[in-house]
Amino acid sequence: MIELKTPGEIDAIDAAGSAVARILAAVRERAAPGVRPTELDALAADLIAEAGAVSSFRGYHPRWAPTPYPGVLCVSVNDAVVHGIPARAKLRRGDLLSVDFALHLDGWCADAAFSVVVGEGDPGDEKLIATTEAALQAGIDAAQPGARLGDIGAAVAAVARGAGYGMLADHGGHGVGRSMHEEPHVPNEAKANRGLRLEPGLVIAIEPMLLAGGRDGYRHDRDGWTLRTADGSRAAHAEHTLAITEGGPRILTLP
């Protein structure tokens, strides 16, 4: 079932989203060569507690996963696309880091992600990240009241495919509310003018994942969580939670 949120509920998700954005900014600031992803996870865990919030990730156990998720962040490095478990191995200059983070505040969830190159970046990686952010923005711009769900995927895919990048066929965004993952599924590739009519009160996360190699293949790591590109190429991820409002899309995961 798709649940529309009241303006008051959207404000509550916005409060959670502000905390998400602040904590992600702190994580981004701390990320540097020599820092361990486990240290980033500990930083985020401290900041969640300080905010009076609860991790949406730790203990999360979807059917397909072998174990409950152990961290509060997903930290996906280089060929890891998403769902990377924060590792002890130190970050190195030039690593492509993707950080995904969600929390619950007063019972409401917000979910966001960014990618960045650690230290000095390869221009190809910078372009991959910039294109992922542009794909996210195109998806957000398409999330207008009266438009359809397929318009979002069509906009995201036009940017990603137009630049020659691959995408994951069966992973995309989702509804957000009291739960992190609600209906509807929000595909990153779809036909324009098809699917659910977007109505004010719908709250969704849009999250393009772009694969530098241009192919769509991926595999699960031995840990059962981490998704890696099949060809070993790098991947980037960007995500915002937003509400459809009468006035257009309202991004809820801004500081």
Look at residue 161 and give its three-state secondary structure.
Answer: helix
Q: Provide, rounded to whole angstroms, the least separation between the CB of residue 81 and Co ion.
A: 13
User: Does the footprint of ligand MF3 cover residue 234 (CB under 6 A)?
Assistant: no
For residues 31 and 209, which CB has a smaller minimum distance to ligand MF3 in the complex?
Answer: 209
Look at residue 13 and give its three-state secondary structure.
Answer: helix
User: Does the footprint of ligand MF3 cover residue 104 (CB under 6 A)?
Assistant: no
Picking from 167, 92, 75, the residue whose alpha carbon sits closest to that of residue 128 is 167
Of these, 43, 74, 103, 149, which contacts ligand MF3 (CB under 6 A)? Answer: 74
For residues 69 and 123, which CB has a smaller minimum distance to ligand MF3 in the complex?
Answer: 69
Q: Provide, rounded to whole angstroms, the least separation between the CB of residue 5 and Co ion.
A: 17
Which H/E stretch holds residue 204? strand 203-206
User: Does the footprint of ligand MF3 cover residue 83 (CB under 6 A)?
Assistant: yes
Q: Provide, rounded to whole angstroms, the least separation between the CB of residue 74 and ligand MF3.
A: 5
Q: Provide, rounded to whole angstroms, the least separation between the CB of residue 97 and Co ion.
A: 17
Angle between helices 37-50 and 7-30 (to 10 degrees): 140
C-alpha–C-alpha distance, residues 7 and 49, integer Å: 27
Residue numbers of the site for ligand MF3 (CB under 6 A)?
57, 60, 69, 74, 82-83, 100, 102, 111, 174
